[in-house]
Structure 1
Amino acid sequence: MKWVRLKALMRKEVLEIIRDPSSIAIAFVLPVFLLLIFGYGVSLDARRIAIAEVVDHPTQLTASFLAELERSPWFRPRRYLSRAEAEQAIMRGDVDAMLWLRSDFTRLTLSSGAAPIQLAVNGVNANQARIIENYINGTWLLWLQQEATGQGVHLAAPVVADVRVWFNPALRSRDYLIPGLIAIIMTLIGALLTALVVAREWERGTMEGIMVTPVSKVEILLGKLVPYFVMGMGGVTLSTLMAVFLFGVPLRGSLLLLLGTTALFLLTALGMGLVISVLTRNQFVAAMVAIVTTFLPAFILSGFLFDIRSMPPIIRVLTHIVAARYYVTILQSLFLAGDVWPVILPNSLGMAILCTFFLSIALLLFRKRLD
């Protein structure tokens, strides 16, 4: 391998990038667009939950409890005259839950601490149903304690929970999702950047001209890999700045460690794209294969949205061949917890193995022949 030839190939690729702005759009515009869409659109938080209120016998105490619900940022209460109307509202999907305060609510509230309240929740979305149940229980206990204190009554609770939340004390799902989103987006971007490279050369008929030159296949692949690696690192940097300054996600880990693990992951993604570009000679086919074989597995099997430990054993085994699995874990650790080496080292090793594998496969499959 000669530096002069490699430099010439990289200069050729840079000129191709400048002449064809689609690569620049993939590296910089697409990450911003996807991060804005997913960052604001994907959320595991349940806010402004529509809940039906039914009160059999309105009193000052029922009004106080319902006022507590209305002040909460989690609920959007709607008043109904009867339980039957509220149940129909749940059936229609107008509300997600029904809270029924029966006629003896006031009499039993502070006397026994077990007021007759019925909560019916739409369980179609099981995750949201559990969240609604927990929110109502928390609001009820808080209001009950406030009322007891205001009337000079001691409310003896069997268990007092002293909650401590590590790493994400605000309990914002966005802080957890944005680092994972960066990994998912860069998987797609990295694979697309190189998946279209060799296929584009075949479509334009310039691959034959490259093959008759004395350049080696290592020089050809490096000449195409290095410029897109630089562009990919620029896209990751832009995504990280958006995560910190636009979405307010804390970055508690080392910036150098973030750059190092990102470079390793980006090489892995670019290697996957090179393998695809070597196997396909059509840009459209290369793009479709890149989306199906990189983006979709990364979205489903990386632990970004779905906990890997809850998956069937055979699926858990398959996740080990998804590079985004390791990068998502590293990013979530660096952003939310810091430099946790027992997490970073084994996941970096997994990415290094996959990076070596894909780059080696791309080198073995690439041939300086027309057949």
Structure 2
Amino acid sequence: MRLRRLWALVRKEMVQIVRDPSSIVIALVLPVVLLLLFGYGVSLDARHVAVAVVVPEPTQRTASLVTAFANSPYFEVEELRDRRPAEDGLVSGRYRGVVVVADDFDAQASRGLDAPIQVLLDGTDANTARLVKGYAEGVWAKWLGYEARDRGAALAVPVNAETRVWFNEALESRNFLVPGLIAINMTLVGTILTALVVAREWERGTMEAMIATPVGRLELLAGKVIPYFVLGMGGMALSVAIALILFQVPMRGSFWVLTVVSALFLVGALNLGLLISTVAKNQFVAGQIAIVAAFLPAFMLSGFVFEPSSMPLWIEALSHIVAARYFVTCLQTIFMAGDVWSVILPNAGALLLIALVLALVTLKRTRKSLE
């Protein structure tokens, strides 16, 4: 490899980027758009869930129970007197849950007897149903405590659980999802940057001119990777800034660790794009392969939304060849927990190994010929 030729190739790519700003759009604009769409659109939190509270015989005690549900940030409460319209609303999807208070609720509670309430849930969305069930149980437990204190009695609880939440004290799913979104975005951006650019050169015939020069395969690949690596890291920095400033995601780790891990991942993504371009010399085909080979595995198998350990064994094993799985783990650790080396080093090593394998396979597949 001659540095003079390499620098000439890098300058050529930079001039091409300036003349055709689609690469800048992919590297800088696309991550922002995707981060905003996914950051605001994807959430595992259930807030302002519509529920109906059926109280056939209103009393002061039932009114306090309804108020406890209404004061919860998780519920939008509508109080009803009849059970039938509540059930109809549950069937039609108007309510996600129905809380039914018995006719003799106040009388039973006044005599110190069991006065249960019934909670009906819409189980079509199992995750939301579980969340609503947990929220309802929490409201019920707090209300029982308030009632006991009002009577001057102690609530008999055999076990007192004191919960301490580490790393995400506010229990905001956004703090968990946004770092994963950065990995998903950089997977798509890094792969498309090189896959489409090289495919476009084949379509325009400029790649044939490059083949006729004395440029070696390693120089050709490095000349492609370096400019788009700089562009991709710029998109990465912009995504991190949005995560910290706009979404208020905590950053407990070091920026230099984040930079090193991101660089390892981006090198692998760019080499994957180059590998795709050796197979597909058409932009449309290259884009489709990039989505199937990079975006979908990163979205489904990286642990961004779905935990790999909960998947079938063979799918979990397949997820180990997806670089985004290790990058998502590093990002979530750096943002939420800090520089936990027992987590970062093994995953960074896996990213380095994947990047080297992709680089070697791409170099082997690259031929200075029209075939």
Band of TM-score, shorter chain:
over 0.9
C-alpha contact (below 8 Å) 1:197/1:224 kept by paired residues: no
Between 177-186 and 121-130, the greater mean CA deviation after superposition: 121-130
Q: Deviations over 1:259-314 (max 9, x none)?
A: 00000000011111010011111111111110111000100000100011100110
Q: What is the rounded CA distance, in whole Å, between the counterparts of 1:198 and 1:27 in structure 2?
A: 15
Q: For the structure 1 residues 158 and 109, does the alpha-carbon distance in structure 2 shift closer, same or farther, using more than 3 Å as the test?
A: farther
Aligned to 1:226: 226
Q: For the structure 1 residues 353 and 110, does the alpha-carbon distance in structure 2 shift closer, same or farther, using more than 3 Å as the test?
A: farther
C-alpha contact (below 8 Å) 2:53/2:99 kept by paired residues: yes
Q: How does 1:264-275 map to 2 (within 5 A)?
A: 264-275=264-275
Which AA in structure 2 matches 1:230?
A: V
What's the C-alpha RMSD, in Å, of the aligned pairs?
1.0
Q: What is the rounded CA distance, in whole Å, between the counterparts of 1:30 and 1:139 in structure 2?
A: 42
Q: For the structure 1 residues 113 and 363, does the alpha-carbon distance in structure 2 shift closer, same or farther, using more than 3 Å as the test?
A: farther
Structure 1 length normalisation: TM-score? 0.98
Instruction: Please state if 1:201 is matched with 2:201.
Output: yes
Q: What is the rounded CA distance, in whole Å, between the counterparts of 1:137 and 1:206 in structure 2?
A: 66
Q: What is the rounded CA distance, in whole Å, between the counterparts of 1:268 and 1:252 in structure 2?
A: 26
Q: How does 1:1-371 map to 2 (within 5 A)?
A: 1-109=1-109, 111-112=111-112, 114-371=114-371
- Return the offset for 1:110: 5.8
Which AA in structure 1 matches 2:103?
A: S
Between 146-155 and 87-96, the greater mean CA deviation after superposition: 146-155
Q: What is the rounded CA distance, in whole Å, between the counterparts of 1:17 and 1:52 in structure 2?
A: 57
Share of identical aligned residues, percent?
53
Between 257-266 and 112-121, the greater mean CA deviation after superposition: 112-121
C-alpha contact (below 8 Å) 1:53/1:99 kept by paired residues: yes
Q: What is the rounded CA distance, in whole Å, between the counterparts of 2:135 and 2:198 in structure 1?
A: 54
C-alpha contact (below 8 Å) 1:187/1:294 kept by paired residues: yes
C-alpha contact (below 8 Å) 1:108/1:116 kept by paired residues: no
Which AA in structure 2 matches 1:337?
A: A
Q: For the structure 1 residues 110 and 156, does the alpha-carbon distance in structure 2 shift closer, same or farther, using more than 3 Å as the test?
A: farther
C-alpha contact (below 8 Å) 1:98/1:121 kept by paired residues: yes
Q: What is the rounded CA distance, in whole Å, between the counterparts of 1:278 and 1:110 in structure 2?
A: 78
- Return the offset for 1:111: 4.7
C-alpha contact (below 8 Å) 1:104/1:116 kept by paired residues: no
Q: Deviations over 1:209-243 (max 9, x none)?
A: 11111111111111110000000000000000110
Give 5+ residue unaligned stretches, structure 1.
none
- Return the offset for 1:113: 7.0
Give 5+ residue unaligned stretches, structure 2.
none
- Return the offset for 1:175: 0.2
- Return the offset for 1:155: 1.4
Counterpart secondary structure, 2:345 = helix
C-alpha contact (below 8 Å) 2:175/2:249 kept by paired residues: yes
Counterpart secondary structure, 1:326 = helix
- Return the offset for 1:108: 2.8
Q: What is the rounded CA distance, in whole Å, between the counterparts of 1:181 and 1:159 in structure 2?
A: 39
- Return the offset for 1:80: 2.4
- Return the offset for 1:48: 0.5
C-alpha contact (below 8 Å) 2:251/2:335 kept by paired residues: yes
- Return the offset for 1:207: 1.3
Q: What is the rounded CA distance, in whole Å, between the counterparts of 2:113 and 2:32 in structure 1?
A: 52
Which AA in structure 2 matches 1:269?
A: A
- Return the offset for 1:320: 0.7
Structure 2 length normalisation: TM-score? 0.98
- Return the offset for 1:81: 2.6
Q: What is the rounded CA distance, in whole Å, between the counterparts of 2:231 and 2:205 in structure 1?
A: 25
Q: What is the rounded CA distance, in whole Å, between the counterparts of 1:225 and 1:332 in structure 2?
A: 27
C-alpha contact (below 8 Å) 2:66/2:79 kept by paired residues: no
- Return the offset for 1:197: 2.3
C-alpha contact (below 8 Å) 1:181/1:304 kept by paired residues: yes
- Return the offset for 1:354: 0.8
C-alpha contact (below 8 Å) 2:323/2:351 kept by paired residues: yes
Counterpart secondary structure, 1:114 = coil
Q: For the structure 1 residues 113 and 288, does the alpha-carbon distance in structure 2 shift closer, same or farther, using more than 3 Å as the test?
A: farther
Q: What is the rounded CA distance, in whole Å, between the counterparts of 1:159 and 1:294 in structure 2?
A: 48
| Moved >6 Å (runs of 4+) | none
Which AA in structure 2 matches 1:353?
A: L
- Return the offset for 1:109: 2.9
